[in-house]
Chain A
């Protein structure tokens, strides 16, 4: 028998994608993880082991900022899970109603914020919530709630939650669309079987639809998690790199940016920046693994 001929075309088809992906994504990520193990002493790169992480987690100069950013990040994520995803699911459930008119119109309109950039969204809300312009206070006034108004973005206790809600406003379209798609993929006959069995309205949602869209909810949760722990733009655009007031809105993304590039008096430090990036990597990896092993393996893949 002759040797199997080498199928060069496979190589040709794969090479560009694998090369760019490896060179611009994988190698830098690995390098960043590696850089986190070094430090700079007089212009030289010196291996420092886990010192950077020790500094990050325990050094009073760093640890406060790090844990603050991490805590904020979890709060940011929690708001998304508790507000964005339930609203998205509710909207999708309404939209998927078979005899609803104008569904396409609503769908497109609700998705508009998602296509806008963080910069636009951040500034637009900053203006709307600004006490100087007064749109928000005068609208609250119109419904007799003026006393509730506060310069939310400027107050430490509200700023982060406000930003999270702005982000929710922007991204609610994504869970809505994915859940909508999942709901549409439930065969009509199953819902009709439910109808014949007397399971209609809310009961149909809780007993039939919700269990069937659980896998999609899982995917949305992990997408939200990765997106939130990778967030930066909205906070940078509306609060600046210092993530004010007094770091109340600082999350890992902004913290890493400040550390890497330096800001005002602080000098940029690529090694500490890498250490923060590594921490983000670890968190995201843990999240993804939890999702893949715990949730995904337990969740029965229903065959529709």
Chain B
């Protein structure tokens, strides 16, 4: 059974079309990530699914039921907000139970669910604290706990890690992945960070300007990007693009190659002058000019390369991509 189906969903604010004809589905138990640059409509799409915005056109089905006219609380969803949106006047326990009490759930059920969620998220010591007395990471866990206790058909996460510092972000990312395994619930996760998308997702939906660019597993998108945008958006450092004419005289297409697929080779086809070197220890990123085009090569291990140095770069022919003027594979 599908947890969520969107059919030809559009959304406009006045004359501005924010979402354009979006159709996709989320299977039961699947972890789907919406990713795209800021302003691509991914958060709006999530809000349409949640019922915080109405779709201008199209159908939203959750667990098979048409929910276009259903208020958020009746859609069987729970949402974790970017700013956590904890109720400042309620302590952790009450934050988690407010919705259940509003639904009129029996006391034992509420207590059991809070106990479970609290154990899962290590929140036991904080149940009587107020949000203002918690650290960012703890607040984040409370926000997730508040979603868990509702036992929703579908979890919605709106950039939940963007307010955390880098170290905590990594830990929380792993926690969310664990949580998904334990609950085996359907989850939709919005982010602009391609690393989060790659590491968490069963399925990634790449959005740009309110349109779906591509849907697929992380490796599908990485290996077979549908167009130049997707190719450039996923992967870090991002894919190099330069005129194929640099390698093949007269070729009008754009050539794409990932930094990790470039290597030093005295006979390589690309003659480059080093502009800058980033020594990361495990890797070395070399930023170099090939004629007037800047490219990045990610070399494994440590290399004594210096700025200004001339070098030649090679690649395997099966690792290159070609795009036409419209950005489509060619």
* Partner-B contacts on A (CB < 8 A): 187, 189-190, 192-200, 203, 207-208, 211-212, 300-304
Chain B residues within 8 Å of A301, by CB: 132
**Nearest CB to that of A199 among chain B residues?**
B102
**Nearest CB to that of A301 among chain B residues?**
B132
Chain B residues within 8 Å of A208, by CB: 87, 89
Q: How distant is B237 from chain A, measured CB to nearest CB, in Å?
A: 33
- List the 10 shortest-distance A-B pairs measured between CB atoms, nearest first: A198-B73, A197-B99, A302-B88, A303-B132, A189-B85, A193-B85, A211-B89, A189-B81, A196-B72, A190-B85
When the two chains form their complex, are residues B73 and A190 in contact, meaning their CB atoms are under 8 A apart? no
**Nearest CB to that of A189 among chain B residues?**
B85
Q: How distant is A267 from chain B, measured CB to nearest CB, in Å?
A: 56
30 contacts between A and B (CB under 8 A): A189-B83, A192-B72, A192-B79, A192-B85, A193-B79, A193-B146, A194-B87, A195-B73, A196-B50, A196-B51, A196-B72, A196-B73, A196-B77, A196-B78, A196-B79, A197-B73, A197-B99, A197-B102, A198-B72, A198-B103, A199-B98, A199-B99, A199-B102, A208-B87, A208-B89, A211-B89, A212-B88, A302-B130, A303-B88, A303-B132
- Besides the contacts A189-B82, A189-B83, A197-B98, what 18 more A-B pairs have beta carbons closer than 8 Å? A187-B85, A192-B81, A193-B85, A193-B146, A195-B72, A196-B51, A196-B52, A196-B77, A197-B73, A197-B150, A198-B71, A198-B102, A199-B99, A200-B73, A212-B88, A212-B89, A300-B89, A302-B130
Chain B residues within 8 Å of A211, by CB: 89
Of listed A193, A203, A300, residue having the most chain B CB within 10 A: A193
B69 close to chain A: CB less than 8 A = no
**Nearest CB to that of B131 among chain A residues?**
A303
Report the Cα distance A194→B131, complex, angstroms: 16
Report the Cα distance A203→B79, complex, angstroms: 19
Chain B residues within 8 Å of A300, by CB: 89, 130
Chain B residues within 8 Å of A194, by CB: 87, 98
When the two chains form their complex, are residues B52 and A203 in contact, meaning their CB atoms are under 8 A apart? no
Proximity bits, B40-68, A CB within 8 Å = 1, else 0: 00000000001110000000000000000
Q: How distant is A203 from chain B, measured CB to nearest CB, in Å?
A: 7
Of listed A190, A196, A303, residue having the most chain B CB within 10 A: A196
When the two chains form their complex, are residues B52 and A195 in contact, meaning their CB atoms are under 8 A apart? yes
Interface of chain A, helix or strand or loop or mixed?
helix
Chain A residues within 8 Å of B52, by CB: 192, 195-196
Of listed A190, A200, A300, residue having the most chain B CB within 10 A: A190
Contact of A190 among B82, B87, B99, B132 (CB under 8 A): B87
Report the Cα distance A278→B264, complex, angstroms: 91
Q: How distant is A97 from chain B, measured CB to nearest CB, in Å?
A: 16
Report the Cα distance A304→B81, complex, angstroms: 14
Report the Cα distance A212→B131, complex, angstroms: 13
Report the Cα distance A39→B281, complex, angstroms: 90
Chain A residues within 8 Å of B107, by CB: none
B316 close to chain A: CB less than 8 A = no
Q: Which of B90-107 contact A (CB under 8 A)?
A: 98-99, 102-103
Chain A residues within 8 Å of B78, by CB: 196
Chain A residues within 8 Å of B87, by CB: 190, 193-194, 208
When the two chains form their complex, are residues B71 and A200 in contact, meaning their CB atoms are under 8 A apart? yes
Proximity bits, B277-310, A CB within 8 Å = 1, else 0: 0000000000000000000000000000000000
Report the Cα distance A242→B130, complex, angstroms: 54
Chain B residues within 8 Å of A193, by CB: 79, 81, 85-87, 146
Proximity bits, B172-205, A CB within 8 Å = 1, else 0: 0000000000000000000000000000000000
Report the Cα distance A154→B88, complex, angstroms: 50
Chain B residues within 8 Å of A189, by CB: 81-83, 85
Chain B residues within 8 Å of A197, by CB: 73, 98-99, 102, 146, 150
